[in-house]
Amino acid sequence: MSDWRFALVSPPAPGVRAQGFLSFDDPVLTGRDWPYVAIRGAAPGPAVLITAGIHGSEYPAIDAAVRLGALLNPQSMHGQVLVLPLMNPGAFWQRAAYVVPEDGQNLNRVFPGKADGSFSERLAWQLVQKAIRHADAYIDMHGGDMPEALVPFSIYQESGDAAVDAKSDALARAFGSPSLLIQRRRTDSLSGMTIGAAADFGVPGIIAEDGGAGLYDAAIAKTMLAGAENVLRSLGVLADATATFISPDRYAGFLWPRSRHAGFFRPSVCVGDSVAVGDTIGILKDFFDQTTETIIAEASGRILFLVTSPAIAENGLICGIGLPAA
């Protein structure tokens, strides 16, 4: 009997790499190409899932996953790795920000999905049921989308199990992002994320973020690649070097300032800046240069990401302020 964990793809033989395109047993998901690389080590070891392209315009993360799938050597590897470098191909080809073009939903807000739901919900359900829940560790690589700039950071979701959370923390420290945000279980404003679904199944997982603004940067892709490789070393999948761990700046959650009105946004801060309660983040102008709203920081923290587009809709997201851990 095969001990291959990921039912999304046919199991490769030990010491073999297989690649191709996913085929789902769901008529709603047919007719599209989701690339995969499945690498099964010659020796047994953990099962690791790596995804990218949940948002199709986060290019360095996608490229890092592509590079990783190509360089892993199954002959010298322990365990199994499934790399899914482009989970939202429609958005990639259409250069669409945030959403899955087929249904207009944000894929990273619908997990764990539904077997009979929307396009995005069905895709999320397939990924959870046939990959995420069966992994020993999970890395979901992201970045700032088309209209976002950010500083590199990782996120994990508390699971309620201290042992699982410690493993997620170790994944983040091995990946090497200088900032780490810990989402509290079922109290954070974000829901429906990949790592939330992983946490619900007791799977250690992180989201790793770097790059942004719709730009491809090979140096950032290589940094993310190095982070993923170091995580694999920390898990014993790779034995080419000793894994290293950093001590990141820690944040206990996000504050998400939003606009009350639509307008042209002029920021007063830069991504990476620290802000205090009452600081001005930026102003919204109408097209007669009248200020319609001043965006004020309601908590102290650091701007981990900032919307770079001046086009802000009513109730539009402005930035994400990381709230320092106590």
- Structural domain range at position 34: 16-250
Q: How does DSSP assign 247-313, residue by residue?
A: --EEEEEEE--B-SS-EEEEESS-TT-EE-TT-EEEEEE-TTS-EEEEEE-SS-EEEEEEE--SEE-
CA nearest to 210, candidates 146, 151, 272, 139:
151
Report the domain count for the chain: 2
Please tell me the predicted confidence (pLDDT) of residue 1.
Answer: 35
Q: Indicate whether 50 belongs to any domain.
A: yes
Q: Do 260 and 220 lie in a common domain? A: no
Please tell me the predicted confidence (pLDDT) of residue 186.
Answer: 60
Q: Indicate whether 11 belongs to any domain.
A: no
Q: Using 50 as the pLDDT threshold, list the residues of the chain that sit under it.
A: 1, 188-189
Q: Do 182 and 260 lie in a common domain? A: no
Q: Do 111 and 154 lie in a common domain? A: yes
**Apex 219 CA angle, 215 and 221, nearest 5:** 70
What is the tens place of the pLDDT at every residue in 73-86?
999 999 999 999 99
Q: Indicate whether 304 belongs to any domain.
A: yes
Q: Do 185 and 238 lie in a common domain? A: yes
CA nearest to 204, candidates 174, 248, 246:
174
CA 209/CA 205 separation, integer angstroms? 13
What is the tens place of the pLDDT at every residue in 267-325?
999 999 999 999 999 999 999 999 999 999 999 999 999 999 999 999 999 999 999 99
Q: Indicate whether 86 belongs to any domain.
A: yes
Please tell me the predicted confidence (pLDDT) of residue 326.
Answer: 79
CATH of residue 112: 3.40.630.10
Q: Which residues pair with 264 in a beta bridge?
A: 285, 311
Please tell me the predicted confidence (pLDDT) of residue 185.
Answer: 72
CATH of residue 304: 2.40.50.100
Please tell me the predicted confidence (pLDDT) of residue 190.
Answer: 56
Q: Do 194 and 260 lie in a common domain? A: no
CA nearest to 60, candidates 123, 139, 120, 144:
144
Residues 6+ apart with CB under 8 A from 70: 37
Choosing from 215, 234, 250, the residue where a domain stops is 250
Q: By percentage, how much of the chain surpasses pLDDT 90?
A: 94
Phi, psi dihedrals of residue 36, rounded to the nearest 5°? -145, 155
DSSP secondary structure code for residue 184 in this structure:
P
Phi, psi dihedrals of residue 274, rounded to the nearest 5°? -90, 145
